Structure 1
């Protein structure tokens, strides 16, 4: 039975789709598709049904990573359905903890806690920033964090 991961940010059009695509790519390259299932979602429903921000898609395309995600809002049943819900920043993590129903089985974690320097663990929202540079930084952060998360999860080192 695969382990299920949901990656969450505010709108599900910038950070979490990048992280989802990077995580899926790492899983595929390691031949672990049977062991993992990955999705992303939004805290807020502003962009439901939308494709990721064009800048996010461009950065992923530069690295030959496919992104098929469409924005959706976090649902109460996600806390039971997923083994891990990974927040992109501390505000997202606080929202998840507030929204989590009693008895949810998902471990609520900060993606940046996996392998990133302390001052970079909160992967900041680039939505209002200009250009590709903020999205490239997010890609780099997600590459490190997703790899470390998968490594630790495979070794049962996530509490």
Structure 2
């Protein structure tokens, strides 16, 4: 089983959106028995809460299932349990690398590392910008390319 973890700040906007979109892509590819998807936040403000209403609305609009997604905080164990850890921005990446320390398990990337034509390296936080449509487009493209990368890297 390949384990993929998406990480943002509070785990109510970007990372649960990416979790739902990626899980949908994996299911459509018939790989849900081979790839496990989850999300977490670097902060603890929203633990146990459902995604932000803006995230839920854009997922519903695009018919992407988001049931059973609730916020949680990333922990050290995640950095050994997950093979691919996908940060949404430089701040998340920095926090993950500090948490990781010398641990060599799990590769940490930014989602837009998988979108070479992206005009930015960071997925902006719609909690602050309000632009859930823009974020959804970035997440959708990043997740599609991530799945291609994992399939090639893992020979699945």
- Indicate yes or no: 2:137 matched with 1:140: yes
Question: TM-score, length-normalised on structure 2?
Answer: 0.93
Q: Which runs of 5+ in 2 are unaligned?
A: none
Distance 1:116 1:51 in 2: 31
Q: Equivalent residue for 1:106?
A: 106
Does the CA contact (< 8 Å) of 1:6 and 1:40 recur in 2?
yes
Give the drift of 1:104.
4.1
Tell me the distance in 2 between the aligned counterparts of 1:41 and 1:156.
Answer: 24
Q: Given the two structures, how large is their TM-score scaled by the length of structure 1?
A: 0.92
Note the alpha carbon deviations across 1:11-53, whole angstroms, 9 max, x for none. 0000001000000000011111111000000000000011000
Q: Secondary structure of the residue that 1:143 maps to in structure 2?
A: helix
Misfit runs of 4+, over 6 Å: none
Structure 1: runs of 5 or more not aligned: none
C-alpha RMSD of the superposition:
1.3
- CA distance in 2 between partners of 1:29 and 1:121 (Å): 27
Cα distance, 1:102 vs. partner?
2.6
1:155 alignment partner in structure 2: 152
* Residue matched to 1:124: 124
Between 1:71-80 and 1:113-122, the stretch displaced more is: 113-122
1:61-118 per-residue CA deviation (whole Å, 9 max, x = no partner) reads 0011111210000011001100011000111101110111433411011111112534
**How far apart, in 1, do the equivalents of 2:42 and 2:110 lie?**
14
Q: How many residues matched?
A: 153
Q: 1:116 to 1:59 in 2, by over 3 A?
A: farther
- 1:126 offset after TM fit, Å? 1.2
Q: Distance in 1 between matches of 2:99 and 2:63?
A: 35
